[in-house]
Amino acid sequence: MRACIPLALAVLCGLAWADLYSAPTSCQGRCYEAFDKHQQCHCNAHCQEFGNCCKDFESLCSDREGFSYSSDAITKEEIQSISEKIYRADTNKAQKEDIILNRQNCISPSETRDQVDHCPKPLFTYVNEKLFSKPTYAAFINLLNNYQRATGHGEHFSTQQLAEQDAFLREIMKTAVMKELYSFLHYQNRYGSEQEFVDDLKNMWFGLYSRGKEEGDSSGFEHVFSGEVKKGKVTGFHNWIRFYLQEKEGLVDYYSHILDGPWDSYPDVLAMQFTWDGYYKEVGSAFIGSSPEFEFALYSLCFIARPGKVCQLSLGGYPLAIRTYTWDSSTYGNGKKYIATAYIVSST
């Protein structure tokens, strides 16, 4: 892994009452506690982003495998296998010559809150925009400007915008990436038909919920791919296409990065700092060079198989962890919770 600091994989834990005492350098009894600056090392939900987890974080705060108590459990090994198939199926991804990055300065986690621009030049030196004429890319880009980025302002979609959501889903379902994902989930008894799967994806990603006082001011797609601003800070915004287009318009200013994934081709992973029209993003992880369907497939897989947990994948032989969050205050069909966010935790 090309990184300034070692980033540990974060996973959920369940501990017995007898485990509540722990040494200050251990996560025993401390998994997913609130951040405390006085601790020597940390076991909170974001320690993997900042590289300050205790050494036993991964071993003690281990994932209970989501559906492990049901008869139709999706195992870690099955998730890793299907993620490798999705990785190989992404024929729409960028080739090496399609993107030239200028990563510039890599900083330590302790510097991410300083809001100092360590990179005078843009992140993207060159992108072959012929990629954007591909059907899934074009349909994806059509969606990006359908949202008000400030939370607290209700979203109201026009007939055209609703049609663009359907068009995007139609285009990605034509790809080998999404066919692989559907076949896997169908085999796992999660969906009885492709239409049921598509309907669920639409609710999961485009269904509106409330992050503020205004009803229906956010969605999974808006947060993860387009980005939002809440209380003066950027939230979400985990997509390289959105980043490139906004940087090209002069709205995004790349500051630095703290992690560069191990892949020597696209898709790669970058965890970076930037401002968006003056609003700061402390740590924003994103795939670089992946197709829209690839990201959509992996995030959906993790939300379905490990909702609200860390999902351990394998891409090209390298491990990758994605964390999803559910939105507890609102649900769709059969009590399922909306996807609130999905982001890359780390690669090792």
Based on C-alpha coordinates, what's the Rg of the chain?
A: 19
Across the range 300-314, mean pLDDT stands at: 91
One domain, residues 131 and 235 = yes
Residue-level length of the chain: 348
Across the range 118-128, mean pLDDT stands at: 97
Residues 6+ apart with CB under 8 A from 278: none
One domain, residues 195 and 264 = yes
Residue 24 has pLDDT above 80, yes or no: no
pTM above 0.85, yes or no: no
DSSP-assigned letter for residue 111? G
pLDDT given at position 191: 92
Question: 3-class SS at 248?
Answer: helix
One domain, residues 31 and 124 = no
Instruction: To the nearest 10°, report the CA torsion of 166, 170, 176, 178.
Output: 30
Residue 136 has pLDDT above 50, yes or no: yes
Rounded to the nearest angstrom, the gap between the alpha carbon of residue 169 and the centroid of all alpha carbons in its chain is 19
Task: Give the tens place of pLDDT for each residue, 72-91.
Answer: 579 999 999 999 999 999 99
What the block records as the tokens of 129 is 């925009």
Average pLDDT of every residue of the chain? 82
* Inside any domain, residue 12: no
Rounded to the nearest angstrom, the gap between the alpha carbon of residue 15 and the centroid of all alpha carbons in its chain is 27
One domain, residues 111 and 24 = no
Across the range 253-262, mean pLDDT stands at: 94
pLDDT given at position 164: 95
Strands ordered across the beta sheet of 233-235 = 2-3, 252-260, 268-276, 279-288, 233-235, 228-230
* Inside any domain, residue 278: yes
Instruction: Quickly count: other Cβ atoms within 10 Å of residue 206's Cβ.
Output: 22
pLDDT given at position 14: 21
* Inside any domain, residue 83: yes
Q: Check: CB of residue 332 under 8 Å from CB of residue 204.
A: yes
How far are the Cα atoms of 34, 101, 193, 236, 329 from residue 339, in angstroms, in the given order?
A: 22, 30, 21, 12, 11
One domain, residues 45 and 144 = no
Is the pLDDT higher at 243 or at 46? 243
Residue percentage of the chain with pLDDT more than 90 = 54
One domain, residues 178 and 40 = no
- Cite the active site residues: 223, 238, 281
Residue 291's nearest CA partner among 199, 123, 174 is 174
Rounded to the nearest angstrom, the gap between the alpha carbon of residue 91 and the centroid of all alpha carbons in its chain is 21
* Inside any domain, residue 28: yes
One domain, residues 130 and 44 = no
Across the range 123-144, mean pLDDT stands at: 97
Q: Which of 11, 29, 57 is the last residue before a domain boundary? A: 57
Task: Give the tens place of pLDDT for each residue, 141-197.
Answer: 999 988 777 766 766 778 998 999 999 999 999 999 999 999 999 999 999 999 999
* Inside any domain, residue 190: yes
C-alpha 271/C-alpha 286 separation (Å) is: 6
- Its domain, for residue 37, covers 20-57
Per DSSP, what are the bridge partners of residue 281? 274
Question: 3-class SS at 329?
Answer: strand
One domain, residues 166 and 214 = yes
Residues 6+ apart with CB under 8 A from 191: 182, 185, 197, 200
Tally of domains within the chain = 2
Instruction: Identify the CATH number of the domain in which residue 37 sits.
Output: 4.10.410.20
Q: What DSSP element (H or E) covers 247?
A: helix 240-248
Residue percentage of the chain with pLDDT more than 70 = 78
Is the pLDDT higher at 60 or at 80? 80
What's the count of helices (H) and strands (E) in the chain, helices before strands?
10, 11
One domain, residues 148 and 196 = yes
* Inside any domain, residue 107: yes
* Inside any domain, residue 127: yes
One domain, residues 33 and 169 = no
- Winning range, highest mean pLDDT, from 4-8, 145-149, 151-155, 300-304: 300-304
C-alpha 18/C-alpha 231 separation (Å) is: 40
* Inside any domain, residue 189: yes
One domain, residues 101 and 214 = yes
One domain, residues 49 and 149 = no
Task: Give the tens place of pLDDT for each residue, 200-222.
Answer: 999 889 887 776 666 766 788 98
Residue 294 binned pLDDT confidence (cut-offs 50, 70, 90): very high
